Amino acid sequence: MSTALIARPTPSGFTGRFCTRGGSPDRLEGLLLRAVTHYFHGHVAVAQAYLIDAHPAGWYRIGGDFTSETGYRHDKKESLANLCYCHGETKAPPRELDATGAAEAGVDWAYVLETDHLKILTPVRNGWYEVRSTPWPYLPLAVQHSDLIPAISAA
């Protein structure tokens, strides 16, 4: 299984949370596209708040079920629940990685949730290579004009 970083853009690159399992694009790209456009109703900032800010220790796996409890539990490893390391049985400390830290940690894929697209990167010798950039399939008018969306603070 490949590892991933779920990230947001920063002036110097990106920063985000580690995801231990299921990080390959053939699985996680579609899941993130559906999550942002359907579960988060096109609000990329809300998706970032959930995937990055609300789960500071990172993820065991993002399974796609955004309605169930997120904490890691051994009995839920095979479910579709999103299993994080900061809630549930593990209670791990926060772990934020930037582009350098992600490369050093051996992250296979970085998924940067940009305002208007999902950017997928993979590490190369001297940085990160952009594999592809996929526009969000549907963004409401308010999301296209981000100045209309109030700031979202992490819970």
**pLDDT per position as a tens digit, 113-136:** 999 999 999 999 989 999 999 998
In the prediction, which pLDDT does 108 show? 96
**35 DSSP assignment:** I
Question: pTM for this one?
Answer: 0.84
Beta strands in 45-139 (DSSP E): 59-61, 71-72, 83-88, 97-98, 109-113, 117-124, 127-135
What are the residue ranges in the chain where pLDDT is below 70? 69-80, 138-155
In the numeric block, which tokens belong to residue 49? 């708040």
In the prediction, which pLDDT does 87 show? 81
In the numeric block, which tokens belong to residue 92? 């791990």
In the prediction, which pLDDT does 10 show? 97
